[in-house]
Structure 1
């Protein structure tokens, strides 16, 4: 009997569980389509390979009569590096070789301004807008993302470094809307082993590598990946990555409960729904617990067009001060030149550009920087 590669077996089991859940829930029917978001890196190519192998047998683990589903891919070219179009074309070719169909390549324009949360935030928003559009165009039941346990741990550390709240520390959810992350329980080394086992070459993004001479600038996530996590493992021993991921899972439950309360508070405090501005009753906000009120205020800022990645704790603090520390201060300046101001017992949030005048482009769901 041929030896089964343990990394490939773990990857297939993870995908099998995800596809089975989609089938049990009725979201995925016989002949239905799932898409894999593929960058050409080890994580997403391993996911594409595992999904291609599991798709023909989805129903066998769900119902007495088996059924197959289709697997496609979406490759997003952000256009932020020289030769990115060639990288995208190669990734698409790899997916076709693995048997995925359809394979879509989407070129996007990235807003790198501070209002979009910088290059990382702009790239994320453009990528998810392209994935949303591809899923709608193809009628896909789900989009699979290749984030791993290592990505989750890095997200938690980045949130800690920024002094973020529970939502950011909760990292990336396994499931949100059409998006699924089957590999959140796998290490990055396992995805590289999967690629070796199936004989597929993967691309390594140079921005994910620390400069060889130790000098020069590198993205924050790259520094966490290449320097911080190894230092923690040296100091605290193995298991640090797994422990950070468990912390994210525990905090996510707390954050979900608080967000639900914040949604209720925002609805109760809204005095004049509709129009270009959001009007909130100060009295209703002021008596709410701070953790709930601050979440509601952040949601209010996003509702008038502030970019999620650019709306920081500093902006929320300033809005909160208008509610509970009112001393006659002037308006609060928010991302995208929106404004928050207090008058006559109400909090007014106004976008600079009226909603009716904004371009009708797809708007991604609010996400943390890590997603």
Structure 2
């Protein structure tokens, strides 16, 4: 419990004080231990702290569990306390992605409504290790291997993960020490989900073969890659500014002079600016744009998600709305070259 409280205290020290800190709590051991630590630390730091729990409505009794979490939070001194019910059905992607999308949208709306200074989530070192392994298995590049950032923006509210250096066993031990009974989501042990299979089958094998330090090493790898990413992203911001063509689009001569890792980031950022949805933009789309720069042989336009296409006109890349995008919005450029894969895998 002491380790978790220290992690929360460090996280709060870096946050503005003009709004409550909200803990996203499902009632599981990780988020419950985080909420308990925040209820202890925040008042002593002169901070207001509340809690948000999301009812996805996917399991019998989910409403009662959410209300039980809210009652505990109120008794623990957290305020404000909100229960938010979301509709998962009909959202794009698989059930896991749809639930995550609904959850983060709800959390962002509540945090924005209270003008929260931050939203805290209970992702642990074990979650980070799982994320890195999934990213590696899916062929992700540096962004995926960087795992979950300790802090990112969520619709204008800082989303902070104080427990990325805390193990799952520690959060369970903290709950036991405090007499808290966490809820174990059956989805977390459902072999239908890749993350559940990694948790139940892959990580135990790695720990037996390589020792318990493998979890710390995977999490450390994510932190090291994230630090490198930050530098490359800064270089890409400057490079994108230089590559903008006076007539619109990007100058291919300047793009061609960039290191591949920087050029890939420039092209990805530009595609986002054009309106390509980040979740749908993949490595193959960026690779096709890269080919228009580095392997130009007069090939036709490249299609991007969002009904966009990019083509090369003389010395620049330009975009236009696609009159008839293919059913599968994969790029159709010929002679596809190489570009960094920045697929993001986040738990």
Could you state the TM-score of these two structures normalised by the residue count of structure 2?
0.85
Indicate conservation of the 8 Å contact 1:37/1:73, yes or no. Answer: yes
1:113 aligned counterpart, secondary structure:
coil
Q: Work out which of the residue numbers 84, 92, 117 in structure 1 matches 2:70.
A: 92
Distance in 1 of aligned mates of 2:305 and 2:63: 32
CA shift in 2, pair 1:19/1:236, >3 Å: same
Report how far residue 250 of structure 1 moved: 0.9
CA shift in 2, pair 1:243/1:123, >3 Å: same
2:183 aligned counterpart, secondary structure:
coil
Report how far residue 126 of structure 1 moved: 3.4
CA shift in 2, pair 1:240/1:317, >3 Å: same
Residue 269 (structure 1) aligns with? 243
Residue 11 (structure 1) aligns with? 4
CA shift in 2, pair 1:238/1:143, >3 Å: same
Q: Work out which of the residue numbers 34, 39, 54 in structure 1 matches 2:21.
A: 34
Structure 1 stretch displaced more, 298-307 or 238-247: 298-307
Is 1:57 the equivalent of 2:36?
no
Residue 160 (structure 1) aligns with? 136
Distance in 2 of aligned mates of 1:271 and 1:80: 50
Q: How many residues align?
A: 324
Distance in 2 of aligned mates of 1:164 and 1:79: 32
Q: How does 1:94-109 map to 2 (within 5 A)?
A: 94-109=72-87
CA shift in 2, pair 1:196/1:317, >3 Å: same
Distance in 1 of aligned mates of 2:95 and 2:288: 25
Report how far residue 19 of structure 1 moved: 1.7
Q: Which runs of 5+ in 2 are unaligned?
A: 324-341
Indicate conservation of the 8 Å contact 1:308/1:368, yes or no. Answer: no
Residue 70 (structure 1) aligns with? 48
Report how far residue 80 of structure 1 moved: 4.6
Report how far residue 230 of structure 1 moved: 0.6
Distance in 1 of aligned mates of 2:87 and 2:319: 29
Distance in 1 of aligned mates of 2:280 and 2:130: 20
After superposition, the C-alpha distances for 1:168-198 in whole angstroms (9 at most, x for unaligned) are: 1111122224121111111111111222222
CA shift in 2, pair 1:204/1:339, >3 Å: farther
Is 1:208 the equivalent of 2:188?
yes
Residue 347 (structure 1) aligns with? 317
Distance in 1 of aligned mates of 2:226 and 2:251: 29
Residue 132 (structure 1) aligns with? 108
CA shift in 2, pair 1:235/1:290, >3 Å: same
Q: How does 1:181-260 map to 2 (within 5 A)?
A: 181-211=161-191, 218-260=192-234
Q: Work out which of the residue numbers 101, 105, 124 in structure 2 matches 1:148.
A: 124
Residue 275 (structure 2) aligns with? 305
Distance in 1 of aligned mates of 2:139 and 2:279: 14
Report how far residue 349 of structure 1 moved: 3.3
Q: Which runs of 5+ in 1 are unaligned?
A: 1-7, 59-67, 212-217, 354-365
Distance in 1 of aligned mates of 2:41 and 2:259: 47
